[in-house]
Chains A and B, each alone.
Chain A
Amino acid sequence: MDYWRKPLDIDKYEITHGAIHIIIDRCKGCNFCIEFCPKKVLEVSNEFNVKGYHPPMVADQAGCVACKLCELICPEFAIYVTEDKHMAISKKEPHED
């Protein structure tokens, strides 16, 4: 996002990496998670769930830093993130949008 400068000591920190789990049939398609993901990891999928909504899908799994904003903002308890220690992206530069 435009708001943030790159921290000066970014190479001292290991960036956590998250695995995103979507409970597809709980989703009501409000798109909050897709819009407000700071790393733009999610996208609207083309498939339908049982209610007829388009649930989100993970478009950029490697970009997820396990901030868990989607988990907190989801009104339906339909998405959650687990920290994936093995896939920590320590050397990877943060995305610059």
Chain B
Amino acid sequence: MSQNDIHPMDKLIRADRMPHIWCSGCGLGTNFSCFLSALDQSGLDIDKCVIVSGIGCTGRIPGYTNIDSYHTTHGRAIPFATGLKLANPELTVIVFSGDGDLFAIGGNHFIHAARRNVDINIICVNNFNYGMTGGQFGPTTPLDAITTTSPYGNYEHPFNLVQVAAGSGAVYVVRWTSLHVRRLTNSIKEALLKKGFTFIEIISPCPTSFGRRNKLGDGLDEMKYYQKYSVIRHGIDPKDADLCLNGKIVVGKFIDVDKPTFLDNQPDLVSMAEKNKK
């Protein structure tokens, strides 16, 4: 046990930075582990992969990944990723960020990158609140949920992230929970190898903020809740995959289509302009 303490994933993590900052019972470590397995199994050249994130608990993931990584400003992960992809189309660009980062401050970037079908992979960890800053409510907090800034219950309607992604034009839309480790790994692998704007939502426990205030128990209790209440419905209309507090969690692959990407459609503007000059 002690003579051989090298975890097989230590080649892809910055092991000197372990332990990471995530709380005991947080789902982020599990999501990260699934992502690394998927990256490992996908057979991609890791020197041609870049991981980008914004700010938040999930935003720490690039800092722990031993591949090229960018930790950008709040909400701007997608613009950075788009720039990377357009400047060097050979790269596989992954955006790994939280619901607050991608859909609150970064919401506009998300819908437009999806509309343009930029060839980047989005992995969004949804823990229903702003965990790092103390558990404030955000655009994914379900109705009636208690958070630090909604002590009498949240009265705003939340986003249904898979519907937002599908409506904006994403070519691959999937939702899993942190418990669905095998399916999540397979979906991430599929998304990495797929061309176009892919979106994976991961429902993840936040025992310190969201779970504690809504009496969901510790991380293990939330995982048991996912085991009991998640239902797999592949191919259903994303509008029927709404989430509510203490309700069923509809998971599965909702959209998987092919369409030309932003770079495929881009005309050769330089030669067109030169032709015009003559």
**Per-residue B-contact encoding for A28-55, CB less than 8 Å = 1, 0 else:** 1111100110000000000000010100
B5 to A, closest residue via Cβ: A23
Say which residue of A31, A73, A77 sits within 8 Å of B7 (CB atoms). A77
A66 in the interface (beta carbon within 8 A): no
Q: A21-B4, A76-B29, A77-B10 are in contact. Are A35 and B223 (CB under 8 A)?
A: yes
B220 in the interface (beta carbon within 8 A): yes
The answer to whether A71 and B18 touch across the interface, beta carbons within 8 angstroms, is no
Say which residue of B1, B22, B223 sits within 8 Å of A32 (CB atoms). B223
Q: Count how many chain A residues have C-beta atoms less than 8 Å from C-beta atoms of the other chain.
A: 24
Say which residue of B23, B34, B220, B224 sits within 8 Å of A72 (CB atoms). B34
Interface band, chain B: 20 to 34
A74 in the interface (beta carbon within 8 A): yes
Say which residue of A21, A35, A74, A75 sits within 8 Å of B1 (CB atoms). A21
Bound CA span A15–B34, Å: 24
The answer to whether A72 and B185 touch across the interface, beta carbons within 8 angstroms, is yes
B interface secondary structure, majority: helix
Bound CA span A53–B4, Å: 21
The answer to whether A28 and B24 touch across the interface, beta carbons within 8 angstroms, is yes
- What's the least CB distance linking A50 to chain B, in Å? 10
A89 in the interface (beta carbon within 8 A): no
Chain B CB within 10 Å, residue with most, of A21, A76, A77 = A77
**Per-residue A-contact encoding for B1-36, CB less than 8 Å = 1, 0 else:** 100110111100101001110111111111011100
CB contacts under 8 Å to B, within A51-97, are 51, 53, 69, 71-78, 80
Q: A21-B4, A23-B5, A36-B179 are in contact. Are A75 and B26 (CB under 8 A)?
A: yes
The answer to whether B181 and A80 touch across the interface, beta carbons within 8 angstroms, is no
